[in-house]
């Protein structure tokens, strides 16, 4: 374990960041007003341009990795990184769940120490904290033993389908991963574990027939799907933290036609890899009840569970040590939602939830607690500047 005497001076980092607080808020406002929904790649160009500019001003070489179905991603490497120097992966995303035009109904505003706006909490404030943490490290002339490499993707909110191969390659050689997703709740809890997330589509196939003239010749896919839905909900196990939710159902042609096809889209959350394997096996083993019907299962676990291991435990203890220097009482938590930290945790010690304190992710009223941004940036700067873990 790293001794406290070898840690960078967190208070000096915080003192520097206090002098930059107004600039932090101004940059956050600029990022929030550059709306960047996941599903409109062209809309992501302004926010990516801002981030490229800010990173280059802080001494990073920045490469834009073009996307085929996204606005692309940014890879930033410290210009002073030495050949063969080990690196740590700093991970964030610039896309949001909010459609273009959300600012008209949910405008940027600052009130009672909070900044409100779409994507402010999840997770543009986390990007601001990262930029200013890197700036503070340079301003104090600290030279991290483990060089920071920053990856910002633009498809996290839709599952990181295009960016995951990049993240996997970077994580495989990284000494650790720090994820700037928002902290959990107003207590600012760090995320040391996350549930795995699966998405499945269950299709029931029947036989169409006239509902009035020849109902006996039909096989209702909707009826069959009702049996399947009950089995799916039976997989829920609150005590184990397993949730299986049928979120949408669709099917049938017209009221006077026996439905030939119906489908259910299912969200699954599990705390462990064993649970993921067991539940996926159970879903794929579903069998039809109605004679002549057919069940087709598609989907998978796109994000594996992020479970605590010795390396991630050391990262958590290190964060606590730095937090104590800043007089912060940090707490850890398990998050029900997934992030790219689920992916990095397969390859390297990972600590998530290092972004802003606030509330309302994906909800009207999303906000960031401005009064805690300096402390969070100082915490992050301290982690980035810390030596290699001894595992």
* pLDDT band at 391; cut points 50, 70, 90: low
What strands lie across the sheet with 243-251, from one edge to the other?
A: 243-251, 261-270, 196-205, 294-303
Q: How far is Cα 217 from Cα 294, in angstroms, rounded to an integer?
A: 16
pLDDT 10s digits, 349-389: 999 999 999 999 999 999 999 999 999 999 999 999 999 98
The model scores a pTM over 0.75: yes
Which parts of the chain fold into alpha helices (H)?
Answer: 10-18, 21-33, 45-57, 102-105, 125-139, 164-173, 221-234, 273-284, 310-325, 340-344, 373-385
Pairing verdict, β 367-369 and 261-270? unpaired
How far apart CA 59 and CA 49 sit, in angstroms, is 16
Predicted local confidence at residue 4, as pLDDT: 47
Give the whole-angstrom CA distance, residue 385 versus residue 137: 7
What rounded mean pLDDT belongs to the chain? 96
Q: What is the pLDDT of residue 7?
A: 62
Q: Domains in the chain, ordered, with CATH?
A: 4-195+305-385 (3.40.630.10), 196-303 (3.30.70.360)
The 10s digit of each residue's pLDDT in 190-230 is: 999 999 999 999 999 999 999 999 999 999 999 999 999 99
Token digits for 326? 């800043």
- Angle 310-325/10-18 helices, nearest 10 degrees? 60
Strand partners, 151: 75, 91
pLDDT tens for 240-265 read: 999 999 999 999 999 999 999 999 99
pLDDT band at 159 (very low <50, low <70, confident <90, very high): very high
pLDDT digit string, tens, across residues 106-156: 999 999 999 999 999 999 999 999 999 999 999 999 999 999 999 999 999
Structure token pair of residue 188: 């600012």
Q: Which residues contact 219 (CB under 8 A, 6 or more apart)?
A: 206, 207, 258, 260, 290, 291, 292, 293
Are the C-beta atoms of 125 and 30 separated by less than 8 Å? no
């Amino acid at each position: 374990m790293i001794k406290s005497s070898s840690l960078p001076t967190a208070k000096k980092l915080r003192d520097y960041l206090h002098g930059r607080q107004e600039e932090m808020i101004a940059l956050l406002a600029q990022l929030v007003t550059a709306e960047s929904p996941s599903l409109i790649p062209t809309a992501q160009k302004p926010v990516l341009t801002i981030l490229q500019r800010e990173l280059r001003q802080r001494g990073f070489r920045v490469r834009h990795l073009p996307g085929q179905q996204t606005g692309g991603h940014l890879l930033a490497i410290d210009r002073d990184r030495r050949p063969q120097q080990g690196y740590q992966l700093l991970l964030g995303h610039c896309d949001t769940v909010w459609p273009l035009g959300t600012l008209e109904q949910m405008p940027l505003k600052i009130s009672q120490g909070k900044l409100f706006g779409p994507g402010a909490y999840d997770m543009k404030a986390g990007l601001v904290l990262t930029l200013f943490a890197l700036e503070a490290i340079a301003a104090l002339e600290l030279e991290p033993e483990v060089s920071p490499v920053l990856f910002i993707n633009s498809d996290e909110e839709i599952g990181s389908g295009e960016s995951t191969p990049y993240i996997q390659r970077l994580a495989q050689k990284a000494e650790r991963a720090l994820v700037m997703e928002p902290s959990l709740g107003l207590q600012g809890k760090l995320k040391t574990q996350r549930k795995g997330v699966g998405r499945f589509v269950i299709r029931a196939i029947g036989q169409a027939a006239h509902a009035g003239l020849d109902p006996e010749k039909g096989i209702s896919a909707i009826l069959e799907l009702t049996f399947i839905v009950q089995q799916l909900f039976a997989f829920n196990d609150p005590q184990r933290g397993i949730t299986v939710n049928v979120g949408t159902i669709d099917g049938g042609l017209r009221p006077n036609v026996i439905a030939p096809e119906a489908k259910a889209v299912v969200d699954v959350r599990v705390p462990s890899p064993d649970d993921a394997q067991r539940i996926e096996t159970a879903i794929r083993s579903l069998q039809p009840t109605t004679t002549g019907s057919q069940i087709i299962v598609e989907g998978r676990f796109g994000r594996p569970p992020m479970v605590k291991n010795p390396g991630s435990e050391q990262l958590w203890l290190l964060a606590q040590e730095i937090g104590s220097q800043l007089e912060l009482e940090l707490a850890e938590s398990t998050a029900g939602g997934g992030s790219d930290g689920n992916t990095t945790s397969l390859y390297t010690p990972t600590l998530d939830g290092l972004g802003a304190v606030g509330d309302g992710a994906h909800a009207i009223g999303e906000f960031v607690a401005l009064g805690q941004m300096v402390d969070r940036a100082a915490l992050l700067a301290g982690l980035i500047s810390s030596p290699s873990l001894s595992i």
